Amino acid sequence: MVSRFGLSPRWQRVFIVGICAIAILFCPLGFMADPAFAAAVTLAKQPPITKTIALGSAAGDLKFMPDRLAFKAGTRYRLMLENPSSLKHYFTAKDFADAIWSQKVDAGNVEIKGAIHELELRPGSHAEWVFIPLRAGIYPLRCTVPGHTEAGMVGSLEITG
């Protein structure tokens, strides 16, 4: 049996497999030509703006210092998180984490990549979170260690367009 293009079923399969192989091989090149892809690569290489936040204090205060941070969408940031207290604290901001692209978190000798929604900082520890805000909004921040939110360890993270 011959198709309307004059190909036998065997050659039709060969043709389809060949087209699929070409699409798989050259599809990534199409992404690289996309201006949005090029912009993302450029953003990921720009020098980050550094901001610092303390989770608690050496005196035992249950608060973020500062308790409000602002970021601009499309700008690369390095957020330095420090825990100077003798208690562990959580940096919990799920909605904020969903509104950014996380490039990495450096904590100790570990670099973490991918989706991040909460960081636990043990007493005296620090972490570095590198990200690019994408979606404007005001997002809640809190420490989810039992009793810390209730004691006032809350804040907000704002992304402007």
| Pairing of the two strands 49-55 and 77-82 | parallel
CA distance 66 to 89: 15
Q: Are 157 and 141 in contact (CB under 8 A)?
A: yes
Q: How do the pLDDT tens digits run along the chain, 161 residues long?
A: 555 556 666 666 665 666 655 655 555 555 555 555 555 567 778 899 999 999 999 999 999 999 999 999 999 999 999 999 999 999 999 999 999 999 999 988 888 888 888 999 999 999 999 999 999 999 999 999 999 999 999 999 999 98
CA distance 68 to 142: 11
* Residue showing tokens 């043990």: 122
